[in-house]
Amino acid sequence: MSQKQTLSFQAEVAQLLHLVTHSLYSNKEIFLRELISNASDACDKLRFEALNNTGLYEDAPNLEVRVSFDREARTLTIADNGIGLSQQEAIDNLGTIAKSGTREFMSRLSGDQKADAQLIGQFGVGFYSGFIVADRITVESRRGGLPQEEGVRWTSVGAGDFEVEAMGRPERGTSVTLHLREDAADYLSTWKLKSIIGKYSDHIALPILMRKEEWKEGEEGKGGEMVLTEEWETVNQASALWTRSKKDISPQQYQEFYKQISHDHEGPLAWAHNRVEGSTEYTQLLYIPSHAPVDLWNRDKAAGVKLYVKRVFIMDDAEALLPTYLRFVKGVIDSSDLPLNVSRELLQESRDVKAIREGSTKRVLGMLEDLAKLEKDDGAPADDKGKYGKFYAEFGTVLKEGLGEDLGNRERLAKLLRFASTESDTVTVALADYKARMKEGQEAIYYITADTTAAARNSPQLEIFRKKGIEVLLMSDRVDEWALNYLHEFEGTPLQSVAKGAVDLGKMQDETEKKAAEGAAEAFKPVLEKLRDALKDKAQDVRVTSRLVDSPACLVVSDGGMSMQLARMLKQAGQKVPETRPVLEVNAEHALVKKLDGSPHFDDLAHILFDQALLAEGGLPDDPAAYVKRVNALLV
């Protein structure tokens, strides 16, 4: 690069800039947190690259951030001696948005300033937040290891474009100079800057330095003033938060640290901070967020734990440190045993990592159990009592994946599950609650899966259970069916789908009822034969059932078979599903079913019966037009 170039921002950046400058006015000061965080990341990167190339330290091995200002020029500068930017990196990293999350972010903007500002907090606009307070930003940088002539100066007024040019720069790293807007001049104050740093950046593991101020008496009786000296002092704690003793860390500091590492504007629901000793030594600081990120569903991406080795940052999103179903957990794990040059591949195989993962999983489950306990604790403040419900609403579905993924902790996980049921409109029923309410003689925990809770609640399959006052769990999460495959029993009581196999209410059905049902089935036999024949392409079998009270018919699948709901879902997702035909169960007491015997419209009625059963459980007839025709023929 020989000459000054003017380049355009990527369209998304321009959009983001507009938003930043227009909607973040309520919380301007966060720009400092963002820029210091970038500086700290740059130092982490240098330290990491220098593991294999100590030359990168040049003659400045002590990594630090310096915050300074010039009242006259109205500028504020945040300088670091981290990895720095090459000329190309300045163009790429400060001119485009690489992160896929940001696109997602842009699409979620509502136009409501307050809500959008919170969203920004969640995603962290980072560097661009400088434009909240500055009408021009100049970045000067040189990447560690590059010759002095290969420095770069980047300037922009935060509108459509930016300028870059080469510059000589002896010192490694980056300095970001904000030309403050007139109304942001109050940041030109040591006291103000120190208090913001104390609030947001105290735990940054690097020293943040500022010029010392001194009181200078005015001349000839005029008032004195604070003036800046040449001496620098450290204004933050400068030790990694997790390395400090628990008793020296306030709840506010834990929360600030969480916000920093998670880019979340809301505080966490809970955290655990422990030093684990024994054959593997590590420190864990793990947080449970209070709401789900937008990409929670992406099993490949999300993982929120940063790995440090002996306080050196190694990597973000170290997925090997926790099982995938706990990917919502944020935090830091600092190992004393892993080698500094550990790679993601190595992590997968390491025995130490295995121990860390087991220990951390137990810790997270313990935190969740504690939150769940508060739920039932009458003495707990309402806020605390509601925490588990909040957690479950956000992450319950992900937690269920653990039933299939983490066999060793299945029992603990089962206790953490919550469902809606015929006894509860909200998702608050624990399996233990259900067990405690089981009817005399009831031998199973009954559940039904459907596309929505309403569909589950109104399913014909529930009729006999409702009549007998037996509670049924209503499940409508996509993962339920799959997850329940892994949970056959809870504390010795089997789980039984009410839509699979024949109903067997066992001891809850009395002898006279059983006799009556058998008699009805016997009398109905000739009609059944005809039904089987008429529906042989649709139904695997047709039988008389005692599970229906008000409905004429319903569909069930064989025990261990895939529910029709799951089959539909998989088909929609483009997966191959083995073609199985359901069983049609009919209510021999129902007027419509009684009408079958000797009816001249037997065939039409049979098909209508089947298609209606399919409709009732959320499916669609194979040939909807034929269905309508048949119904209409009977209506006229």
Helices marked H in 263-350: 344-349
The interface with ligand ADP within residues 214-253 (CB under 6 A) comprises none
**Minimum gap (Å) between residue 97 Cβ and ligand ADP:** 7
Angle at which helices 624-635 and 602-616 pack, to 10 degrees? 120
94 versus 399: smaller Cβ distance to ligand ADP: 94
85 versus 353: smaller Cβ distance to ligand ADP: 85
Position 16: which residue type? L
Contact residue for ligand ADP among 27, 93, 96, 113 (CB under 6 A): 93
The interface with ligand ADP within residues 509-568 (CB under 6 A) comprises none
Q: What is the torsion angle, in degrees rounded to the nearest 10, for the CA atoms of residue 544, residue 545, residue 550 and residue 555?
A: -90
**Minimum gap (Å) between residue 35 Cβ and ligand ADP:** 7
Contact residue for ligand ADP among 32, 56, 63, 126 (CB under 6 A): 126
**Minimum gap (Å) between residue 101 Cβ and ligand ADP:** 9
Residue nearest to ligand ADP (CB): 126
178 versus 554: smaller Cβ distance to ligand ADP: 178
**Minimum gap (Å) between residue 79 Cβ and ligand ADP:** 9
**Minimum gap (Å) between residue 208 Cβ and ligand ADP:** 13
Beta strands in 399-452 (DSSP E): 419-421, 424-429, 445-449
Contact residue for ligand ADP among 29, 80, 140, 480 (CB under 6 A): 80
Stretch that binds ligand ADP, among 77-85, 295-303, 469-477, 592-600 (CB under 6 A): 77-85
Q: How far is CA 513 from CA 259, 469, 482, 506, in A?
A: 62, 16, 35, 12
42 versus 487: smaller Cβ distance to ligand ADP: 42
The interface with ligand ADP within residues 362-381 (CB under 6 A) comprises none
The interface with ligand ADP within residues 34-73 (CB under 6 A) comprises 38-39, 42
Q: How many residues does the chain have?
A: 636
Given the DSSP bridges, would you call strands 445-449 and 473-475 parallel, antiparallel or unpaired? Answer: parallel
Q: Which residues contact 347 (CB under 8 A, 6 or more apart)?
A: 307, 318, 320, 321, 338, 353
Query: Residue 58: which of 170, 137, 158, 167 has the closest Cα?
Result: 170
127 versus 242: smaller Cβ distance to ligand ADP: 127
Q: Using CA atoms, how far apart are residues 289 and 269, in angstroms rounded to an integer?
A: 6
174 versus 612: smaller Cβ distance to ligand ADP: 174
b/e burial code for range 399-412 (CB count within 10 A of at least 16 → b): bbbbbbbbeebeeb
177 versus 422: smaller Cβ distance to ligand ADP: 177
**Minimum gap (Å) between residue 59 Cβ and ligand ADP:** 19
Q: Using CA atoms, how far apart are residues 604 and 8, in angstroms rounded to an integer?
A: 69
394, two tokens: 């956000």
User: What number of chain residues touch ligand ADP (CB under 6 A)?
Assistant: 15
**Minimum gap (Å) between residue 94 Cβ and ligand ADP:** 6
83 versus 269: smaller Cβ distance to ligand ADP: 83
Q: Using CA atoms, how far apart are residues 94 and 7, in angstroms rounded to an integer?
A: 11
Contact residue for ligand ADP among 19, 20, 82, 427 (CB under 6 A): 82
Contact residue for ligand ADP among 56, 63, 124, 399 (CB under 6 A): 124
Given the DSSP bridges, would you call strands 208-216 and 225-234 parallel, antiparallel or unpaired? Answer: antiparallel
102 versus 565: smaller Cβ distance to ligand ADP: 102
Q: Using CA atoms, how far apart are residues 117 and 125, in angstroms rounded to an integer?
A: 10
For the chain, give the longest Cα–Cα distance: 120
160 versus 501: smaller Cβ distance to ligand ADP: 160
- Integer-rounded Cα radius of gyration of the chain: 33
Position 497: which residue type? S
84 versus 582: smaller Cβ distance to ligand ADP: 84
Q: Using CA atoms, how far apart are residues 67 and 36, in angstroms rounded to an integer?
A: 9
Contact residue for ligand ADP among 105, 127, 328, 627 (CB under 6 A): 127
Given the DSSP bridges, would you call strands 541-544 and 493-497 parallel, antiparallel or unpaired? Answer: unpaired
Count of helix runs (H) and strand runs (E) in the chain: 21, 23
Q: Which residues contact 41 (CB under 8 A, 6 or more apart)?
A: 82
Given the DSSP bridges, would you call strands 173-180 and 75-80 parallel, antiparallel or unpaired? Answer: antiparallel
136 versus 410: smaller Cβ distance to ligand ADP: 136
**Minimum gap (Å) between residue 257 Cβ and ligand ADP:** 17
* Residues 10-39, mask of contacts with ligand ADP (x by CB under 6 A): ----------------------------xx
Contact residue for ligand ADP among 13, 17, 67, 85 (CB under 6 A): 85
The interface with ligand ADP within residues 174-193 (CB under 6 A) comprises 174
Contact residue for ligand ADP among 17, 30, 32, 94 (CB under 6 A): 94
Query: Residue 4: which of 179, 185, 212, 164 has the closest Cα?
Result: 164
Q: What angle do CA 400, 462, 398 make, to 5 degrees?
A: 10
**Minimum gap (Å) between residue 174 Cβ and ligand ADP:** 4
Residues of this chain that interact with ligand ADP (CB under 6 A) are: 38-39, 42, 80, 82-85, 93-94, 124, 126-128, 174
